[in-house]
Every structure is written in structure tokens, then in C-alpha cells.
Amino acid sequence: MSVEVTLPPLCRAKDVAEGQTLGCTVPGQRRKVIVMRHRGALHGWLDACPHYAGGTPMAWKKNEYLNGAGTHLTCHAHGALFDPETGECVAGACLGKRLTRVELRLETDGTVRLAKALEGGKTE
């Protein structure tokens, strides 16, 4: 018998405007999930810069994950820039590495949820 597991809601789709980011807390997880709307589509990324193993938080302030021009996700630890569609680091400390994509599920009522449970990184 399969068991339906309801994964936690992250945010409302309408709360993420084009070119904006939200840092969403996931219960029991050490790292947040970044939800970004880029060219109309929602993308989910683990708030964990790959510069150091295990990742470190990237915002400079709550929900602030972009560079000044709004063109790249940015780690505000050392200024590394990431492609908002692929998560690839294009400049900075983690050149050649990429962000961890988080699959999202958009429900008919506009709720954005995790599509599957996050692996690892639980609260210590």
C-alpha cells in the first residue's frame, strides 16, 4: 500500500515576481531552498554555495540572492556568480561547480512545494 506523503509548502507562486528570489525555510533542514522566477519559470536551488563542502548560505540578507544587475544568483560570501537556469558557477570561488537543483511542484492553488524530500543536510 503506498502512502501519500505531503511535502512541505515553500511559498506561493505569486509571491515570487519575475527576476526575484525567495529564501524558503524547510522544516528540519539546515539549508533553505531558493525559489527564483526566471523568464517566467520557477527554479529551485539549495541555498548552499558549493565553494565549501556541505555548502554555505548565500544571501546577504533575507531573500537577497542576486547580484546588483539581477542577472545571476550570487553567493554573497565571496561574490561567486551562478547561471540562474543551470546553476553553474560562471565566475568566482567555485568556478566549475554548480548549485544543487531542488525540484519544485506547483499546485493548482498556487502553492509551491518540494517535489521530493531533500536529501541530507538535516538540522544538526
Partner 1 sequence: MNIIGPDALVFGVDDIAACTEYLTEFGLKPIDVTDKGGFFEALDGTGVEIRHRDDPSLPTPLPTPTMLRQQVYGVQSTEDLDAIETELSKDRRVTRLADGSLETTDVFDFALKFQVTKRRELVMEAEKINAPGAPAGRAPNELGIYPGMPALPRTLSHTVLFVPDQQKGAEWYVERLGFVITDILVPAGPFLRPKANDDHHTLFFIQTPEYMKGIEHLAFHMGGPTELMVAGSRLARKGFQSFWGPGRHKFGSNWFWYFNSPLGTHFEYDADMDKHDDSWVARQAPMSPQGTQMFLFEWRKRWSPGPGPEGITEGEDTPE
By CB under 8 A, name the binding residues for partner 1: 56-64, 67-69, 75-81, 91-93, 95
Query: Shortest distance, CB of residue 80 to partner 1, whole angstroms?
Result: 7
Question: 14 or 62: whose CB is closer to partner 1?
Answer: 62
Q: How far is the CB of 99 from partner 1 (least distance, A)?
A: 16
Half-sphere exposure of 115 (CA within 13 A, CB side): 11
**Residue closer to partner 1 (CB basis): 89 or 102:** 89
- Alpha carbons 75 and 87: distance in angstroms, whole number: 12
